Structure 1
Amino acid sequence: MFQPIANIEDAQTLAQAIVNTITEPFLVLDEQFRVLAASRSFYKTFEVDPAQTQGSLLYALGDGQWDIPALRLLLETIIPEKTAMDGFEVEHDFPRIGRRTMLLNARKVLYDHSSAITILLAFNDITARRVIEREKEELLSRTEDLLRQKDVLLREMEHRVANSLQIIASILLLKARSVTSEETRQHLKDAHQRVLSVAEVQRHLHTSAGIDEIDVGSYLPKLCSSLASSMVGEAQPITVTVTAEGGRMDSQRAVSLGLIVTELVLNAIKYAFPKEKTDARIQVSYETAGSDWKLTVSDNGVGKIANDVPATGLGTAIVEALVKQLEAKVEAISDTDGTSVSVTRATFTSRVPRAA
């Protein structure tokens, strides 16, 4: 059978025992903010004397170290209006234990048969947590600064590389114009175009939002336009068209892809139209399907039957090496309708017809 507490002394003993079981610092205050009870963890955490705490005004504890403006705001303004408050953050520099950040939970207790008010105040020391959070924020800020610096340095390097490549290309072109050997001149012009294809990647890196990615849809048309403007002669006008789907590619693969396009387009310009042909065309298409892609360079030239140029040489070797590097395969079709060379990564069915 339930036995009620016999007297006020027993009730106080029970209340103090309950308070002492709370692991976090805990206070029981009267309506004047005097300490009625405090947990052992409160005395231990804040290093205050129990004899000088019981019955004392909270703000006067520890020679006034608890006279904290934020704590006054909680007890004198918020609690009277709201009855309860959770997670009220207070930061204060205590003389003995140093600076502490605490979350305060407060409850105002009202009684049915008395006008007295009791305030329960629990402290959660989150100083260590806040230190860790600040360190993380500082580390994140430093990391972001380093990344921004890296971005600036990379873009400056890309800009300088692009300028250097342009200088090399110009030197090759000047040399091609000065040599007497037609074969040497042609080799120098080919080298000039290869350098330009790499420089085009660098220009895209410098102007694009990504640090190390190329938008293939805009890269290939510019590259082919550059090839056409410098290599197509007036004696045999050739239209170079590009159909390129969107998608991004890392700069290393973009360089390989650009060099393949350069070699195939140059080869078509030099060999597909040995005689003047009306409506001479070279078509470049780039199609994607997920991570797979297909590059096709086709022309409506004389094809292999009429073109006795052997499929050997530096250009062919370059294409084969680059195709292997891209883990792709190459397939060529050449007949009286022209030549079509496809470079495919994985299985892919083309949706773009060849030039005809």
Structure 2
Amino acid sequence: MDHNIDIYLQALNAANSGVIITDNTQPDNPIIYCNKAFETITGYSHDEIIGHNCRFLQEEDRYQEERKIIRNSIESGTECRVEIRNYTKNGNLFWNELYISPVKDKLGNVTHFIGVQNNITDRKKAEQELIQEKESVEKKIEERTKELVENESFLSSIIQTVRESLLVLDSDYNVLSVNNHFLSSFKVTITDTVGKKLFELGNHQWDIEPLKVLLTKILPTNNPVIDYEVEHVFPHIGRKTMLLNAYRVEFEGQYKDRILIAIEDITDKKEVDRRKDDFLSIASHELKTPLTTIKGLVQLLSRKLPEDSSEIYKSTLEKVAIHVDRLNDLITGLLDTSKIQTGNIELHKEPFSIDKTIQEGIESILAANPDLEINQQGNANAMINGDELQISQVINNLLSNAIKYSPGSKKIDIYTSKVSNFIKIAIKDYGIGISRQDKTKIFNRFFRASDTQKKFPGLGIGLYISHEIITNHNGTLWVESEIGKGSTFSFTLPIMKTNDNG
């Protein structure tokens, strides 16, 4: 039987169509299997796909009528076929021809859904081109010519005023045009630049091997180069750190295949960040030493408390101890952030039971918040090979945030499950929620949502640290949320491989 399953899996992985399987018995119908073609079509890796609901492929384009058809099909347990707009990991639009079919058990209950998708972008493009060809050819050429002339003049003005270096290359990587910012930034003339191959400019200063590989091997596949960091020593201007974005654009007619390159000089920004990180590390360490002494003295005062001490004295001492602990937590967070930035955070990996770790995290939170209602469902029954202390820190941080940002609610839901060779933990609150624009930045260092800065104290490092910890454990951490409807933070961790589970 296992041999047959292996054959079936090999067949699925050899298929050109993307295939996924979702578990309808779990909340939010998460993906538990995807084949290689699905990874290729979407641009996401297997580990980034498992545990998500397939709606993540629509990103923010969620008002398509086809989504209602899919939702009705899943709710009624029936088949459906739709053509829907999806987006790759790089944000590129592709049209997806999606077939959804339910899998039922012997009692007729829908346990899983199988989704088969095909990229029909080329077909859609051909359909649109056919419609356009039906228009009047002469009128189209006249309007297009006028539009090109106007756009060329307009875009040329914009390119010259942009405070970023811009280049246009042909398909052989010869420079067709550059803006004034490029010429002034790299101390070159237009005669030394235009008409020359990019990699031969000057003293071959742009003949940078990683950049050459990206432009010559990746761009021809239509994959853009996004925020690629290059550090290089240039004549006359010294060492520069640059952020490059490059796109291959296909035009009709004489402008066939152009490469657009935007270069942002981030040398000063990197130096400022380095200084901030140095200050953060030094300040945190320097603060830690006196704080440890203060904490020890407060503990000593608490143990040596006179019997005739007033209630005011006792309560004041208790408040001092609480605020010392809070300050200690803040400094510890800053130290963790500093270690992550410098790459010095250490992982002490050992096998541990994730169910036990979750339970201990819940008990710790309930001890400090006895009126809290935590609804726990599911269990992993799995061992994780990782740093249990760091994973505990993630769970504690997510639970603490669920309480902090739900001032009008005392309810939290926690769901634990297995998805493929991962465990998935979802923590749902019923609080203020997160806006669409803030969701993309919520895991950034020191980021705080605009509507929470004044109402809720904090430095904006807890989620950043949690995200880095989960990433270092080869898992993913993400959030789904709507303003006023609460938030669900989910993360996955790979299950430890043993002789029993392969």
| TM-score, normalising length: structure 1 | 0.41
Quick check: which one's helix share is greater? 1
The structure having more radius of gyration, on CA atoms, is 1
